[in-house]
Structure 1
């Protein structure tokens, strides 16, 4: 089985106040296995997917197992603007044992399902992008048969690689697509920031065969904001719920050097924030994760700060 580790107080620190002015003063550290729904609170649930096994299998730069704690350390220093009836809970990390990624994904699915059952909004911190398969399936367990959940992936990569040799960070949406296909359903998947220099022709062909809705990086910028907004609105109108996943390696290395697969050719944070605003305003967002932070290659903790800022934006606007 995977290893579940309780949240660590050492990851939450910063300036002190007597009014909970900072998130490290607001956050609660709880055991997921003991958690039960608290109707008086709106709850954001942080859960770390502390594994880079999927990246290792995908021949990437390992180190993203350290990502969840690095995000926490930056998030805790940030100002707290949450209402008193809103709680931020850190439920700790799930870790991969004996390189058994598949068991980790199963445990993560169970954890997400428990959070949804207890009406908490999951915010998962990665960790390699194979967590998307687990996160999605945890959400899916609470979707009614005729309802549809759409995936919005901010990423340079489709992550539609075949899992012939096992699951990895490049296979989550392939796995999801095949499972929907087996039920005579179509995957509802939108990928924003796709790069031709990061995906083979075979991946583009498979994306087309699955009717994946995607925007190339060339058109995923503030210069094309109206077009991006239109495409997002059209996609979201066709689904009942939205699961959003942000792969930090989709951003330019000018903003996110500390990732598993860095490139200067990625997109900028401003278009991500504008897109998130639209997703949040739809009222359909039910789960979010931020993946592929690799502190081993970060510069002045820049990427960790970016990831924390994205979490900060979501919890204060959702």
Structure 2
């Protein structure tokens, strides 16, 4: 398979208990072409080892190494998953010769396959251009089922990522690309952004968001003090869609928590508000897939950003499996 790297067993190491007390003891390294159909709860970690879109968007490159670092940090964490819940590492989608579009296409195919096999995908990146490929994979899966079900996108991010695609897409264009395709197909573009910063989006992006009827919560409101109002926003959004795809851009967090990203800022949000929102989203029963973008080990400090990403994966994996 082109643009694909099988899982690396040497990423999964840590304390040895022989009782599956740690996640590296629980995980199965399973290539995509060997992935079984899930009989019970089953979670798949899939990397998107590509930062060509970040380079095109004039960001700090290095996120290509993000998936492996997140997996390694995650593997050292304690395992509280029920014994019947399966956990797979399916390797990573790769990017050769800066061919981001081929990587996005391969990601879409992989996500579609995993959903058909009743797996819950957690995609680890990598640039936020992964969102376009990830969404396309979910849509391909739902289109194949011919049920016409709607997809709501919830993006935890400081940026809209609604830049208009000119010559090539990049890490700043994925949701505009999705919106454009929704318009062409005559379907609703359901997009909720949490944590938007005025100092991180120019006036044209705010106008684009308005034109596309994007729902968003500004960073000064995306705070624990306003949790009740934010929860109301999320529940109202969830009520109007059939499935929810969540994407978490690590550069939305304050650099106090996430220094190792492509576009850091001290003005971002905290992990606690994100965890509370994830709790609400998962409780809706509509979460179909999730990804974490922009992990850049090259600029991380003491593995802090990797641990944040791994902790988010830890929470989601346990919550969606009911463990």
Aligned to 1:83: 82
Q: 1:110, 1:162 → 2: CA distance?
A: 25
Whether the 8 Å contact between 2:3 and 2:106 is mirrored in structure 1 is no
Select the residue among 291, 299, 302 that pairs with 1:300.
Answer: 302
The size of the alignment, in residue pairs, is 317
Aligned to 1:195: 197
SS at 2:220's partner residue?
A: helix
1:29 aligns with 2:29: yes
Shift of 1:145: 4.6
Shift of 1:50: 0.3
Unaligned segments of structure 2, at least 5 residues: none
Per-residue deviation, residues 230-268 of structure 1 (Å, max 9, x unmatched): 111111111011000000000000000000000000000
Shift of 1:2: 4.6
Aligned to 1:42: 41
Whether the 8 Å contact between 2:219 and 2:269 is mirrored in structure 1 is yes
Q: 1:214, 1:184 → 2: CA distance?
A: 22
CA RMSD of aligned residues (A): 1.0
Whether the 8 Å contact between 2:43 and 2:87 is mirrored in structure 1 is yes
Equivalent residues in 2 for 1:1-318 (5 A)?
A: 2-39=2-39, 41-143=40-142, 144-318=146-320
Q: Which moved more, 1:30-39 or 1:170-179?
A: 30-39
Q: 1:255, 1:194 → 2: CA distance?
A: 17
Q: 2:147, 2:316 → 1: CA distance?
A: 28
Shift of 1:223: 1.1
Unaligned segments of structure 1, at least 5 residues: none
Q: 1:107, 1:68 → 2: CA distance?
A: 16
Q: Which moved more, 1:245-254 or 1:132-141?
A: 132-141
Q: Which moved more, 1:233-242 or 1:142-151?
A: 142-151
Per-residue deviation, residues 27-46 of structure 1 (Å, max 9, x unmatched): 0001101223142x311011
Q: 2:201, 2:167 → 1: CA distance?
A: 19
TM (normalized to structure 1)?
0.98
Per-residue deviation, residues 129-177 of structure 1 (Å, max 9, x unmatched): 0000011111112224532110000000000001102011001000000
Whether the 8 Å contact between 1:2 and 1:97 is mirrored in structure 2 is no
Whether the 8 Å contact between 2:80 and 2:318 is mirrored in structure 1 is yes
Runs of 4+ that moved beyond 6 A: none
Shift of 1:75: 0.3
Q: 1:181 to 1:145 in 2, by over 3 A?
A: farther
Whether the 8 Å contact between 1:2 and 1:103 is mirrored in structure 2 is no
Q: 2:219, 2:137 → 1: CA distance?
A: 29
Per-residue deviation, residues 157-215 of structure 1 (Å, max 9, x unmatched): 00000110201100100000000000122210000000011111111111111100100
Q: 1:216, 1:2 → 2: CA distance?
A: 40
SS at 1:211's partner residue?
A: coil
